[in-house]
Structure 1
Amino acid sequence: MTGTLADKRALVTGASKGLGRDICRALLADGWQVVGVARPSLELKALQAELGPSFTAWEMDVTGDDLLMAIADADPFDLLVNNAGGNQPEPFVDVADETLDLLITLNVRAPFRIARSVARAMPRGGTIIHMTSQMGHVGSPRRTVYCMTKHAIEGLSKAMAVELAPAGIRVNCIAPTFVRTPMTEGMLADTQFAAFVDRMIPMGQLATAEQIAAAVVYLASPAAAMITGHSLVIDGGWTAQ
């Protein structure tokens, strides 16, 4: 695929760190022109310097209207990777309304609105990929809100896939297990939680950001032309139990 996609444009949210950073790198290596969205940060500036002119940084909050206006004013995107998201693990009975509203806004409302804006101008053959989680397929302690939001996006993706198929647009999810990123670093530093994760993954190891990025490249490629409404679970067997 390398070098065959010079005229193809991708939009990646949550681009400044973690999975988003490696997704941008992988898409650039595959020949895409990439626009990476994240709030202003030194990490985003460093990524712009690293990736060069085929990468454009949009310093915007994914929950705001400025991003929607920028999408409407830009040339159409052939690929959207809705990667931005967050988690605040807490016992169910202790979850504050503020936490509930924050995660619903970031994990559900924002990707819905971004996908809607991109899809309005997306050409035939376009692809939308929602980054969900293995927690969009199962439940887990202290993750009620996160599980709820990821299940919601899994359902949204299926409905979008059916509705947008006549327009030639494919919609899929990638549902990783735990990957060591800035978001999960603190969780995995808890030895009790790390042991729980280790017990739950039959393959005995975390996924890597490079593995998740490779899945994005695959689902965006002609090799996946008949895949839509699917969730590609990359979990080392967690959800098979």
Structure 2
Amino acid sequence: MPTAVVTGAGRGIGRAVAARLAADGAEVVAVDADAASVTEVAERIGGRAVVCDIADEDAVAALAGSIDRLDVLVNNAGIWRSATLDDSSRDDVDAVLRVNVVGTWQLTRALAGRFGPDGGAIVNLTSVLAEVGGAGRGVYPASKAAVVALTKQMAVEYAPRRIRANAVGPGLVVTEGTAGEFADPGLQQAIGSAMPLGRLGTPEDIAGAVAFLAGPDAAYVTGQALYVDGGWGVNGSAFIANAVLGYIQSL
């Protein structure tokens, strides 16, 4: 049975990824800074819960010490601060980069030695905003672009150890973390309908892509970023802006 570590597993996309990998037969180590949520997830999927802030070097070292063997690492944990660049504080910037970039690097470095001689897979969560940007997102898009670059570097450096590294970039996905932006059902419907594929994404959409990149069907795939965004990155930005404007004008 393969062992998979999933960070940010307490809610949203991380929870869906943990459930999908468990359903596919993995022994999942669910990691999150929130003890209550990650314990509930681990109990539900039959995995193991570990409370860890990936930005905390000591906590990461303790997590690594509890892992004997690893086949899949999913670096999903991340944060954002919704603000313009001008309105972002230094604390906001430091926090986003510390978790999204430094935390991803730190945890991967700590766990890379746990992969066996047959290697395995690393899947990092980026965002479509790494490619298209987004008003009022501060340094979050930059942090996710850095994750793409970090993924490519991992692919190069870990290839001799048969460890593949890829990234999955979600588009607009409704989770606990984003629900506040879609609290108005009418606005949610307007934006979803304006997407090229006609709907917003679900955590399960992202979990399917992660499972593919983590599994044997992607055995010859490394250093890639797969955007699971319903077409947003192709032509969605204009659609979304028009949808929001049209909905506001209809009120």
Structure 1 length-normalised TM: 0.90
Match of 1:67 in 2: 60
| Deviation of the 1:36 alpha carbon | 0.6
The 1-side partners of 2:109 and 2:220 are apart by 22
Q: Which amino acid aligns with 2:115?
A: M
**Quick one: which of 7, 28, 34 aligns to 2:28?**
34
TM-superposed deviation, 1:26: 0.6
Query: Which whole-Å CA distance do the structure 1 matches of 2:93 and 2:189 have between them?
Result: 27
Residues 196 and 165 (structure 1), Cα distance of their counterparts in 2 relative to 1, 3 Å cut = farther
Q: Distance in 1 between matches of 2:194 and 2:87?
A: 25
Contact 2:54 2:106 in 1 (8 A): no
Give the counterpart letter for 1:25 in structure 2: A
Identify the residue that residue 246 of structure 2 maps to in structure 1: none
Match for 1:210: what amino acid?
A: E
- The number of residue pairs the alignment matches comes to 233
Larger Rg: 2
Correspondence for 1:3:
none
Which of 227, 230, 235 pairs up with 2:224? 230
Match of 2:144 in 1: 150
Which of 33, 49, 62 aligns to 2:43? It is 49
Identity of aligned pairs, percent?
36
8 Å Cα contact 2:81/2:138 also seen in 1: no
1:68-87 to 2 correspondences below 5 Å: 68-87=61-80
CA contact (8 A) 2:60 2:110 kept: no
Tell me, yes or no, if the aligned pair for 2:123 and 2:166 is still in contact at 8 Å: yes
Give me the whole-angstrom Cα distance separating, in 1, the residues matched to 2:193 and 2:133. Answer: 16
- Aligned residue type for 1:14: G
Distance 1:230 1:197 in 2: 28
Structure 2: runs of 5+ lacking an equivalent: 236-251
* CA shift for structure 1 position 225: 0.5
In the alignment, is the contact (CA less than 8 A) between 2:193 and 2:199 conserved in 1? no
| Separation in structure 1 between the aligned mates of residue 175 and residue 22 of structure 2, nearest angstrom | 20
One-letter amino acid matched to 1:170 = R
Alignment of 1:102-121 (within 5 A): 102-121=95-114
> Within 5 Å, which residues of 2 pair with 1:1-241?
6=1, 8-52=2-46, 55-64=47-56, 65-123=58-116, 124-189=118-183, 194=188, 197-198=191-192, 201-241=195-235
Q: TM-score, normalised by structure 2?
A: 0.87
1:66, 1:111 → 2: CA distance? 13
Sort the Cα spacing of 1:190 and 1:94 in 2 relative to 1 into closer, same or farther, 3 A. Answer: farther
Return 5+ residue gaps in structure 1 as ranges.
1-5
C-alpha displacement at 1:198, in angstroms? Answer: 4.1
Q: Distance in 2 between matches of 1:99 and 1:119?
A: 29
Instruction: Tell me the C-alpha RMSD between the 2 structures.
Output: 1.9
> CA offset at residue 49 of structure 1?
2.5
CA distance in 2, matches of 1:197, 1:79: 34
Check whether the contact 1:154–1:173 (CA below 8 A) recurs between aligned residues: yes
| Cα shift readout 1:145-183 (whole Å, capped 9, x = no counterpart) | 100000000011011111211211100000010111111
User: Aligned letter for 1:57?
Assistant: A
* Distance (Å, rounded) in 2 between the aligned partners of 1:236 and 1:48: 30
